[in-house]
Amino acid sequence: MPPLRHRRLDLILIAWFAVFAFTSLVMEMYIVFDVDLRSATDPFGRAWLLYTRWDPLFLDTPMWLRIMCGIDGFVFGPFYLVLIWALWRERGWIRVPALLYVSAIVYSTLVYFGYEFAVEGERADLAMVVLINVPYTIVPLILAWRMRAADPFAQGCAQR
């Protein structure tokens, strides 16, 4: 197999999943542990407060969304690290867990978007909410396409 630097799609996926790991393991914890974003003084809390300008739902996060963020932080966050390693090292066993992850994350982002459009449309800046959050749907779908072959790292499967 070609080295990682020649597997451009895998490099792009690794970069995105590194961002996702950070947001899951660090940022989502503010929501899970119900940090008062209005009084947060650290840079990550302030970043959340900035986001609430577009999505005020997170100023008083409903329990269902805190649970979703908890799943993101405690399940998807560690999975992103495993996924990054498996993509880097070309481990074919990641295919089934990756496809299961794609199903779960696409479902959860669609629930989130559905709620935003159906309930929060009057308060939220929907264009910004979509712009910031749509990679959490699109990148996993690209991963599903990348994992489409029974052996995603066999000769010819790695996209350049």
Residue 24 lies in a domain: yes
Residue 97 maps to a domain: yes
Angle made by CA atoms 61, 36, 59, in degrees to the nearest 5: 35
Q: Has residue 89 been placed in a domain? A: yes
The answer to whether position 159 is within a domain reads no
- Whether residue 126 is contained in a domain is answered as yes
CA dihedral angle for residue 17, residue 65, residue 51, residue 21, rounded to 10 degrees = -20
60-99 pLDDT per residue, tens: 999 999 999 999 999 999 999 999 999 999 999 999 999 9
- The predicted model scores a pTM of 0.92
| Share of residues in the chain with pLDDT > 70 (%) | 96
* Residue 156 in domain: no
Is the model more confident about 160 or about 57?
57
Q: 94 lies in a domain? A: yes
Residue 80: its pLDDT value, please?
98
Helix (H, G, I), strand (E, B) or coil at 82: helix
| Residues of the domain holding 15 | 4-146
Residues 6+ apart with CB under 8 A from 37: 30, 45, 48, 49, 52, 58, 59
Number of domains in the chain: 1
Residues counted in the chain: 160
Average the pLDDT over 34-38 and give the result: 96
pLDDT tens track for 24-33: 999 999 999 9
Is residue 146 a contact partner of residue 9, using CB atoms and an 8 Å limit? yes
Report yes or no on 155 lying in a domain.
Answer: no
For 91-131, the pLDDT digits (tens) are: 999 999 999 999 999 999 999 999 999 999 999 999 999 99
Nearest Cα to 105, choosing from 139, 132, 57? 139
User: 155: pLDDT confidence band, cut at 50, 70 and 90?
Assistant: confident
